Amino acid sequence: MVQIAFQGERGAYSEEAALEYFGGAISFKPCYSFQEVFEQVAGKQVDYGVVPVENSYTGSIVDTFDLLLNFNVNIVGEKILRIKHNLIVNKGVSLADIREIYAHPQAIAQCDVFLKKIGKRVIPFYDTAGSVKYIKENNLMNAAAIASRYAAEIYDMHIIAESIESVSNNYTRFYIISLKESVKGLKNKTTIVFSIKNIPGSLYNCLKPLAEAGLNLTKIESRPDRKKPWEYIFYLDFEGVKDDPIVRKALIELEAKTSFLKILGSYPADTSTVIG
C-alpha cells in the first residue's frame, strides 16, 4: 500500500488532496510540520508527501518553497483542490455560545470577511483538522473550529456555518513530492529554482532563453537568499518537460547565466479542476 505523509491531523485538506490524487488504496502518515513531511520523504519512511504550495486568495506558502530548496526530493505531481471552509462545533453548540474560534493562520486569512463580521476571538492553531480534534477531545462548548466538511465527518462534529471563505473561487494547489521521478503527462510542467548574479539586467537575461524557446511561464516567485542579504532566489514554473530537447537547451543557457540552478521536477499538470 502506498504511504503518504502530510502536514496536519486526519481530515486535513492535504489528506483530501491526497485522496483525490491517489485514490483510496493508500495509508497516511500525519505530520506536525511541513519539514517533517519532507524528512519522511527524504528518509524513505513514506512513498510520497503532499504539501500546499499556493492559495488563490492568500498567495504562496513560503515554507514549502524554502523546503524544496533544502531537500533533495522531486515534484512528481500537483493537485488543485477547491477549499470550502466551515465553522464546526460540538453538537448542541450554537453561534451565540461561541467565544473563541480555533483555526490555522491560512484558514483565518481565507475567512477574514466572515470572522470580522461575527466578531469572535480567533486563536491561531497549527492545523485545520487539528483544531476540530482539539475542541472535540476537550469538549469545548464555547468554541468553534474552521475546517473542511471531511474533518467534521471524521470527528463526528456539527457544522453551523458552511462555505465561510471570503471568495467563492478559493483553491489551493498542492505538490506531490517523492524521491522517485515523475512520468510524462499529456500536459507537463517543470518547476525550477535559481539564483541570479548581482548585475544589472540579470533576471531579464535569465528569462530570455526561456522566452526564445517559446516556453510559457505559469508562475514566478522570489524568496530572499538567506545566505546573502538583499539577494534573491527565484522559483519558476513553465509548461514543458525537462528532457525535451528544446527545454534542455533553454535550461543549459539559463544555467550559464545563474549562480545556481536546480530542477525541482517535471510532472503532469492538474487539468481535472475547472476554476471559475
| DSSP category for residue 231 | -
Which grid coordinates are listed for 15? 489528506
Nearest to 146 by CA among 177, 170, 115: 115
| DSSP category for residue 83 | -
Q: Measured between alpha carbons, how far is residue 146 from residues 6, 104, 112, 162, 242 in Å?
A: 18, 8, 12, 10, 40
Q: For residues 104 and 58, give the distance between their C-alpha atoms in angstroms, rounded to a whole number.
A: 13
Polymer length of the chain = 276
Catalytic residue chosen out of the listed positions 6, 174, 194, 234: 174
Q: Are 178 and 76 in contact (CB under 8 A)?
A: yes
Q: For residues 51 and 38, give the distance between their C-alpha atoms in angstroms, rounded to a whole number.
A: 9
Q: Which residues contact 138 (CB under 8 A, 6 or more apart)?
A: none
Q: Which residues contact 24 (CB under 8 A, 6 or more apart)?
A: none
Catalytic residue chosen out of the listed positions 64, 172, 190, 191: 172
Q: Are 220 and 193 in contact (CB under 8 A)?
A: no
The yes-or-no answer on residue 174 being catalytic is yes
Determine the residue type at 219. K
Neighbours of 104 (CB within 10 A): 24
The yes-or-no answer on residue 258 being catalytic is no
Report, as residue numbers or ranges, the catalytic residues.
172, 174
